[in-house]
Amino acid sequence: MKAAILKRLGTPLAIEAIPDPVPGTGEVIVDVVATPVLSYAQEVFGGERRYPIELPIVPGCGAIGRVRTVGPDATQLRPGDWVFCDPTVRSRDDALMPDIVLQGWSSRGDGGKRLQRYFHDGPFAERLRVPTENAVRIGDIDGADAARWCALNTLLVPYGGLLASDLRAGEILLVSGATGNFGSACVAVGLAIGARCVVAPGRNQQALADLKRRFGERVRTVALTGDEAGDRKRMQEAAPGPIDCVIDLMPPSVSATTVRAAVMAVRPYGRVVLMGGVGMLGGAGLELPYPWIMRNDITLRGKWMYPKEAVTLMTGLIRCGLLDLGHFDVRVFALDDANEAVVHAAVNGGPFRMTVIAP
């Protein structure tokens, strides 16, 4: 089969023929129809993000495809089924603390490295081998729509945070990082699952106006100034009532004070979920006052990615019309043009924009 291979950091992907993947027990082979190119892929492939990946590797993170071959343990999957290939691979030998990797993308810890050595190659290829549980059926779709279904890759990340927050229909949500790729997707998902209102702070006036245009009065935008106390007050005043839940999706480049302004806008007895990158590039971490957390009975938790059932639940939101994939603008590249796709993704990222490779 044909694949795009990263052989050395800082060099272009090599488009070459490699052996087809061979399934083992508990594994599925999928024909890749569409796979997203993350906006920061160029930084990963160039070594700027210092991801712990072992080369050479067929990269990529998530895909839409059709089942080609199933193993003997598959009881529901059939050849030809349309599936989302979930890149979040979990080890199977520790239910309480599984090691987790993003297949074809990244790992963490010694256990993650061992897991990545086995589920190594990603979907920048004509075929992909995944654990049986990671080939999640999405129902019949038109093949022409496969690229747009790659939006699952983006939508599922904030959805994982919202599930962790126990956001309920009728509550008020604040999305810290609302003008970014994951943040704008969080606004859409929060509204789809019934948020009364989503407070959307940000500095990008054009992106804020676009959120308002797309979603109307249920989105309350707030222009950030950099004054922590002032910004917090404006967020609280923009909401039609006390803010029940805050989810942070800010990238590592954003200051801790900007994140704290949003986090501490939550009401007493409210919930905060952290999914962003504060402190990951050095600098100050997120410092929150102990008395504020304790006396206000704040629930604070971190969340990375999403639970297994999220793909099926998200598919349901799309199928019933609560979440519209038509929000996403998609540019599709052939596998032979994978390097051009990586460059395009780097300069064309942002809310509701996707670059996709169609092997």
pLDDT block averages, 10 residues each, the chain of length 359: 97 97 94 97 92 93 97 94 97 94 93 94 98 97 97 98 98 97 97 98 96 97 97 98 98 92 98 93 88 98 95 97 97 98 95 97
Residue 239, both tokens: 């909401």
pLDDT of residue 301: 97
pTM of the model: 0.95
pLDDT of residue 123: 98
pLDDT of residue 253: 86
CATH of domain 158-302: 3.40.50.720
Between CA 223 and CA 229, with CA 225 as vertex, the angle to 5 degrees is 105
Exposure string for 256-277, b = 16+ CB within 10 A, e = fewer = bbbbbbbbbbbbeebbbbbbbb
Question: Cβ–Cβ contacts within 10 Å for residue 219, how many?
Answer: 23
CATH of domain 2-151+328-358: 3.90.180.10
Q: Could you read off the pLDDT of 339-357 as tens digits, one per residue?
A: 999 999 999 989 999 999 9
Specify the pairing of strand 100-102 against strand 88-90.
Answer: antiparallel
Burial of 320 (0-12, 13-18, 19+ CB in 10 A): exposed
pLDDT of residue 200: 98
Q: How many Å apart are CA 196 and CA 217, to the nearest integer?
A: 10
- Name the segment(s) of the chain with CATH classification 3.90.180.10: 2-151+328-358
- Name the segment(s) of the chain with CATH classification 3.40.50.720: 158-302
Q: How many Å apart are CA 186 and CA 348, to the nearest integer?
A: 19
Cβ partners under 8 Å of residue 103, min gap 6: 61, 87, 89, 116, 119, 120, 121, 122, 130, 134
